Amino acid sequence: MNFKRLFLPFAAGALALSLAACGDEDKANKEETPQEETTEGTKDEKAAQEMQAKLAEQQVDDKKVVAIVNDEELTGAEYNAALTSMQGQMQQMGQDPTSKEAAEHIKTQALDAIVNQALILQKAKAAELKATEAEIDERYATYEEQFGGEEALTKALKAEGMNIKTLKVEIENSILFEKYQDKVVPPKEVTEKEIQEYYDQAAAQSKEAGQDLPPLQEASEEIKGILEEQQQQELLTAHVEELKADAKIELKI
Residue 22: inside a domain, yes or no?
yes
Report whether pLDDT(38) > 80. Answer: no
How far the first Cα of the chain sits from its last, in Å, is 41
Packing angle of the helix pair 150-159, 11-31 (nearest 10 deg): 110
Residue 212: inside a domain, yes or no?
no
Half-sphere exposure of 17 (CA within 13 A, CB side): 20
Higher per-residue confidence, 27 vs 112: 112
Residue 118: inside a domain, yes or no?
yes
- Average pLDDT of the segment spanning 220-233: 91
Q: Which domain holds residue 242?
A: 11-28+53-188+234-251
What local confidence, expressed as pLDDT, does residue 18 receive? 44
What local confidence, expressed as pLDDT, does residue 188 receive? 84
Are the beta carbons of 9 and 177 closer than 8 angstroms?
Answer: no
Give the model confidence (pLDDT) of 44-65 as tens digits: 788 888 888 999 999 999 999 9
Residue 205: inside a domain, yes or no?
no
Residue 75 pairs with which residues in a beta bridge?
65
Residue 195: inside a domain, yes or no?
no
Residue 101: inside a domain, yes or no?
yes
CA distances from 221 to 4, 182, 211, 217 (A): 13, 19, 20, 8
- Average pLDDT of the segment spanning 190-214: 91
Residue 87: inside a domain, yes or no?
yes
d(CA 125, CA 179): 11
Per the structure, how many domains does the chain have? 1
What local confidence, expressed as pLDDT, does residue 21 receive? 46
d(CA 230, CA 176): 19
Q: What is the CATH number of the domain that holds 166?
A: 1.10.4030.10
Higher per-residue confidence, 201 vs 187: 201
Give the model confidence (pLDDT) of 154-186 as tens digits: 888 887 777 888 888 888 988 999 899 999 998
Single-letter amino acid, residue 148: G
**Contacts of 136 by beta carbon, 8 Å cutoff, 6+ apart:** 168, 171, 172, 175
Does the pTM of the predicted model rise above 0.85? Answer: no
- Average pLDDT of the segment spanning 217-234: 91
SS3 category, 239: helix
What local confidence, expressed as pLDDT, does residue 10 receive? 44
Residue 100: inside a domain, yes or no?
yes
